[in-house]
Structure 1
Amino acid sequence: MAATPPVCDFGWKAPGFTLPATDGQSYSFNQIAGPKGTLVMFICNHCPYVLAVLDRILRDARDLQPLGIGVAAICSNDATTHPADSFPEMQRMARDHAFPFPYLHDESQAVAQAWGAACTPDFFGFNAAGALHYRGRLDASGSRPAAPDARRELFDAMARIAETGAGPREQTPSMGCSIKWRAA
């Protein structure tokens, strides 16, 4: 089922976390934070919205890191109901696609709940002070990639945050598959 996250809550401070990554390490928010800002993406392996733009996510992550933006992705989906999102499958995806950032496993779903993650992909862009300044979409893509010349909304917003500390006031929310929550 498609879901859309709420608009950006400018200045919101993310709850901290330490999560295991596909590279065998564990990372906290502070460890992934860049000197000019931080991008945390909630993604997963099976979502057609993520798969349609994975190459663009990887491109933008690679292009943002030299600007001082730290980047990480988190998978919070219930792997019992969605085995493609299991930790071994996350490791395979990160390896096969040469993820240039830590791919973190939120098995308990506590981070997704604390952050109010709504869908995959769901992008959270923070400035150097750790204040939220972007919660928008990657670009005009949906479950299919947008035109090759589509405006790079996420990249542009994060580059602006790196330069000025503030994100754009106008943002279009992301859209994707809902987080696959465990049964209560």
Structure 2
Amino acid sequence: MNTTFRQSSASIVSEAFLVSDATSDWKVLATILTLWLADKPGRRLLLIVSSSTMALSLLVVSISFYLKEYISPDSDLYATLSLVSVAGVVVMVIAFSLGLGAMPWIIMSEILPINIKGLAGSFATLANWFFSWLVTLTANLLLDWSSGGTFTIYTAVCVFTAGFVAIWVPETKGKTLEEIQQFFR
């Protein structure tokens, strides 16, 4: 292995760790903020804002990947688009932490009747981990196919999520189980 390759690989790995550390710090701060916000504007609003912000940030990432296909790797714009895509992913992680990371678990605990809470909670947890596994399994295959296309698909999923929450998810803040059940009748 030549020295240049080793230095380049070490540089890439160290940059990846720096981005990962910065993202982790923001995730922790965003999660703490979420705990405070959960009782202020409401769970449903946090889910809508979270998924909408994720959709916008992922759209920025996908557009930057599409544009990079037409720009020379030596240009300043290419480097700028790389930074824009990293910033978009960081914003997406923060937006996830502000809503979709915690709110579904809170809503699930408030929305389910006691007699099915254990079974339904177990099923929801299984579904969550299954889809997390599926995204992890297919991410590299999709990125090999098209980086811009992959993030466009993720954008569409976030838009669908925002619409789903806006139409079918009730607000649970400050409501009793009976009041929440009325929403479904």
State the TM-score, normalized to the length of structure 1. 0.25
Bigger share in strand: 1
Q: Could you say which structure has the larger radius of gyration?
A: 2
